[in-house]
Amino acid sequence: MNFQWYPGHMTKAKRQMQEDIKLIDLVIELVDARVPLASRNPDIDELGKNKYRLILMNKADLADKEKTKQWSSYFKEMGFFVVSLDARTKNSMKSITDIVMEACKEKIERDRKRGIKNRPVRAMVVGIPNVGKSTFINSYAGKACAKTGNKPGVTKGKQWIRLSKSVELLDTPGILWPKFEDQSVGLKLALIGSIKDEILNVDELAVELIKFLISSYPGLLSERYDVNESGDITDIIIEIAKNRKCVSKGAEVDYSKAAALVIDDFRSGKLGKITLEIPNSQE
């Protein structure tokens, strides 16, 4: 299956970020904990190379806990601060400000020595589609999300959101889209829903997911759908369709409905806590 990606506004968004990055202290990058590497934008490291960095591994509630620990260690070894979270829950937000302060402590100390007190850390949140960027901002800012207006020396029209007394977020329009040639990256992004299903072949997507699950999480499909995992992939999907009563008019087995069911169950966590890649893996 060939995955198409449409980076139509990438150049404009990239240019905008190159301007905005000058105004901030910290880049907060959201990734999907189920595909921490595939969901990273390859341009971010270059654009944010002189900034403090925090990676938020969102949707950790859907990911394999052991593999999330491995990814956390992997990113920390690269020099990032790392937090695993579910951005939908307020509890996940409690430690974020402390981590932001820790990440930027050198900057805060420099300010103190210069006699600058209480200048908030300025942060920018980045992330590819469907990693939960907006959910995180809304959860972190809460209902008290207040725009503090234009700051001196800041490009006209830029808005800063006061997240706390200590942190301000640059509210920037547009998303940087990753450009990839590796089709396995496209597959992983398609599976988590970062590529519109309308342009995908869901039947083929389900086949790839089932192959992966049989290899990496044996017994999971059998437990969920009461199927024989040793059979042909097509037969497994037909068996799932029969067991889950996925039928079309005329009581015929609806193969595509069963395929979509498996994809939906993976995305919602009903299949279990699953991570599609591990550090230093070529899967």
**Count of domains observed in the chain:** 2
More confident residue, 58 or 174: 58
- Indicate the length of the chain as a whole number: 283
d(CA 219, CA 107): 50
Contact 143, 90 (CB under 8 A): no
Do 153 and 30 lie in one domain? The reply is yes
In a domain, 153, yes or no: yes
Boundary of a domain, candidates 155, 171, 187 = 171
DSSP codes joined into one string, 91-120: GGGTTHHHHHHHHTHHHHHHHHHTT--SPP
In a domain, 264, yes or no: yes
Do 118 and 234 lie in one domain? The reply is no
pLDDT single digits (tens) 85-121: 999 887 778 789 899 999 999 999 999 899 988 889 9
pLDDT single digits (tens) 223-282: 999 999 998 999 999 999 999 999 988 789 999 999 999 999 999 999 999 999 999 753
In a domain, 5, yes or no: no
What domain range is 206 assigned to? 201-268
Boundary of a domain, candidates 171, 187, 219 = 171
In a domain, 1, yes or no: no
150: number of Cβ within 10 Å: 13
Do 31 and 158 lie in one domain? The reply is yes
d(CA 152, CA 107): 19
Phi then psi dihedrals of residue 270, to 5 deg: -70, -25
The dihedral sign for the CA sequence 223, 224, 230, 231: positive
**In the β-sheet with 167-171, what is the strand arrangement from edge to edge?**
81-84, 52-58, 26-32, 121-126, 167-171, 159-162, 146-147
Do 80 and 33 lie in one domain? The reply is yes
Which CATH number do you get for residue 56? 3.40.50.300
Do 36 and 166 lie in one domain? The reply is yes
Do 146 and 38 lie in one domain? The reply is yes
By mean pLDDT, which of 10-14, 39-43, 181-185, 272-276 is the weakest? 10-14
Average pLDDT for 49-54: 93
In a domain, 142, yes or no: yes
Give residue 230's identity as a one-letter amino acid code. Answer: S
Do 31 and 156 lie in one domain? The reply is yes
